[in-house]
Structure 1
Amino acid sequence: MKLLRFGPAGQEKPGTIDAQGVLRDLSGHIADLTPELLDEAGLARLAAIDPASLPRISGDVRLGVPVAGSRKFIAIGLNFRDHAIESNLPIPTEPIIFTKAISCLQGPNDPVRKPRGSTKMDWEVELGIIIGRRASYVTREDALDHVAGYVVCDDLSERHFQNERGGSWDKGKGCDTFGPVGPWLVTKDEVGDVQNLDMWLDVNGKRMQTGNSRTMIFDCATLVSYVSDFMVLEPGDIITTGTPPGVGMGMNPPVFLKEGDIIELGIEKLGAQKHTVFAWDQRV
């Protein structure tokens, strides 16, 4: 299944996509797509609904974050070898964990804000994991049993804040609008092999990132297991799993985002995003 939320920010309704790619309204069956619906029973209940029986969603609608009420937004740093090299940082021997503020979550096509004082705003296409069942100290072998599905994430970053403002990556990762997620949650059964998905990102029509999830240093199962050793993962939590090479910071000379730039990105089977950069004091 592809599950989504549509409508104005703060007023989203749940939806799905039928086999012909038509958006359908699920609000006659559920009030919202919440974490409680992401376990096996909840997903089975949604899968039993015939999409053809649901109202079509007409017009050009806004898409929101696919799941309402996520409580954690966990990120993994330097999880692609070539990205670690382009960042001039050591290849990790264990996953690097940091957090993105829940308040930075937003829809996949919403505009993104360049923060006040930003000089090094950067892009990162990433594969996101959505937790479906509580996970604490889970083994790698059992880890994916706790996953509901996968999403596209843009782990937007302000490198000056991240690397030059006191040593905390979180400062450059959780700025408002720095967490576009979606366009939809794709359940595990529809994704198949999550470790073989093509990834890409363009800025102003120029290809910047090309990669594949098979080149992750630590795969999705390893990451879910590892993170669950340090914190309980709950339904709706997001783990974004690192980016392939091609970020602005790694170019020679570095290239960073400016107001008016258009970012487009996507992952095979998971859909695509598009957002425009706007100034911190600009109304959109």
Structure 2
Amino acid sequence: MRLATVSVEGHAVCVAILNDGSKLDVLRAAQVLGKALDAGSMQQLIAGGEDTLGVLNSLVLSAEVGNLKDALVPDDAPFLAPIPSPRKNVFCVGRNYAEHIAEGERAQNQKIGVTEHPVFFTKPPTSIVAPEADILIFPSVSQAIDYEVELAVVIGKPGRNIAKADAYDHVYGYTILNDITARDIQRRHGGQYFKGKGLDGSCPLGPWIVTADAVSDPHSLSIGITVNGEQRQNGTTSDMIFDIPTLIASLSEGLTLEPGDVLATGTPSGVGYAMDPPQFLKGGDTVVCEISEIGTLRNTVRAV
């Protein structure tokens, strides 16, 4: 099942995407069928857990046979980020694909290597960008804006000190994230990640969440990105160094993960700063991220 947040007359509405691409307002659909559903936000849907997923599945089945036409929203209702305002910073993982590490070593002419444990950093909620919306770049602040397509995990069940064997029980679904990075700022601040990856408009997210049951294997997905139609990144999630259970287990050590938390899992090779010569984003560029079984996340770049 694909769940999204769209804008209808200026209001955020949670929808399920039907097989024909139409958008079902799940709260209105529940009211029509007399079902209890707390659907004021995607955060609430996720927090509802298995019971809420059961209701959502029944609504989609009813809509697919044409029983809920009055609960559809306009086809042109624009997508917002699936979780427009996360309660926490977005969790991210660095150096999780060997070829990406290797290209970084070549570009920086220094040994980086594989770390013993995952490298975590975060992006603030103010960095979130909706599908089809603008990636913001600030020429007076950075001249080296880069892209990184990533599979993002959405947490559904809370937990702390989660065992690897139990990790998938805590996964609600998956979405696409573009980890926009100001490389010069990242280097300027001693190589630490937060400032260079936390600028406003630096975290495109979406277009929807695909629930975990609808993804065959999160470690067998093709993952790639194009800039103005040129293929830049083209990899597979099977190349992750630390798999999703390891990431969840490591991140949750002494740290509670909550429903709606987002964890980006790293990026394959092909980033702009490692090209010869480097190819950074500029105003007017079109950036398209694609992950099989998830979908496509498209954004334009706007200089401000």
Which TM-score applies when normalising by structure 1?
0.93
Please say if 1:114 is aligned against 2:122: no
- Structure 1 counterpart of 2:268, from 244, 252, 258: 244
- Residue correspondence of structure 1 range 93-242 to structure 2 within 5 A: 93-115=116-138, 116-242=140-266
Unpaired runs of 5+ residues, structure 1, are none
Counterparts of 1:33 and 1:198 in 2: how far apart (Å)?
30
Please say if 1:40 is aligned against 2:54: no
Identify if the C-alpha distance between structure 1 residues 100 and 10 changes in structure 2 by more than 3 Å, giving closer, same or farther.
Answer: farther
SS at match of 2:136: strand
More helix, by proportion: 2
Identify if the C-alpha distance between structure 1 residues 258 and 15 changes in structure 2 by more than 3 Å, giving closer, same or farther.
Answer: same
Please say if 1:51 is aligned against 2:43: no
Unpaired runs of 5+ residues, structure 2, are 31-37, 106-111
Pick the structure with greater CA Rg. Answer: 2
Counterparts of 1:133 and 1:40 in 2: how far apart (Å)?
10
**What one-letter code is carried by the residue in structure 1 that aligns with 2:137?**
K
The percent identity for this pair of structures is 34
**What one-letter code is carried by the residue in structure 2 that aligns with 1:210?**
N
Counterparts of 1:194 and 1:9 in 2: how far apart (Å)?
35
Counterparts of 1:261 and 1:230 in 2: how far apart (Å)?
41
Identify if the C-alpha distance between structure 1 residues 275 and 164 changes in structure 2 by more than 3 Å, giving closer, same or farther.
Answer: same
SS at match of 2:96: coil
Aligned match of 2:95: 78
Counterparts of 2:78 and 2:42 in 1: how far apart (Å)?
18
Counterparts of 1:69 and 1:32 in 2: how far apart (Å)?
13
Distance apart, 1:216 and its partner CA: 0.4
For the 8 Å contact 1:74–1:240, the answer to whether it is kept is yes
Aligned residue pairs total 280
**What one-letter code is carried by the residue in structure 1 that aligns with 2:77?**
V
Q: Deviations over 1:198-257 (max 9, x none)?
A: 111000110000011111001111111110014211100000000000000111121101
- Residue correspondence of structure 1 range 1-20 to structure 2 within 5 A: 1-7=1-7, 11-20=11-20
Counterparts of 2:258 and 2:190 in 1: how far apart (Å)?
30
**What one-letter code is carried by the residue in structure 1 that aligns with 2:98?**
R
Q: How big is the alpha-carbon RMSD for the aligned residues of Structure 1 and Structure 2?
A: 1.7
SS at match of 2:101: helix
For the 8 Å contact 1:85–1:91, the answer to whether it is kept is no
Distance apart, 1:31 and its partner CA: 4.1
Please say if 1:60 is aligned against 2:76: yes
Q: Deviations over 1:24-53 (max 9, x none)?
A: 222313543333322222222212212332
Using the TM superposition, name which of 45-54 and 107-116 deviates more: 45-54
SS at match of 1:67: coil
Which TM-score applies when normalising by structure 2?
0.87
Identify if the C-alpha distance between structure 1 residues 9 and 270 changes in structure 2 by more than 3 Å, giving closer, same or farther.
Answer: farther
For the 8 Å contact 1:105–1:180, the answer to whether it is kept is yes
**What one-letter code is carried by the residue in structure 2 that aligns with 1:97?**
F
Distance apart, 1:63 and its partner CA: 0.5
Identify if the C-alpha distance between structure 1 residues 24 and 175 changes in structure 2 by more than 3 Å, giving closer, same or farther.
Answer: same
For the 8 Å contact 2:222–2:292, the answer to whether it is kept is yes
For the 8 Å contact 1:3–1:184, the answer to whether it is kept is yes
Identify if the C-alpha distance between structure 1 residues 67 and 10 changes in structure 2 by more than 3 Å, giving closer, same or farther.
Answer: farther
For the 8 Å contact 1:262–1:276, the answer to whether it is kept is yes
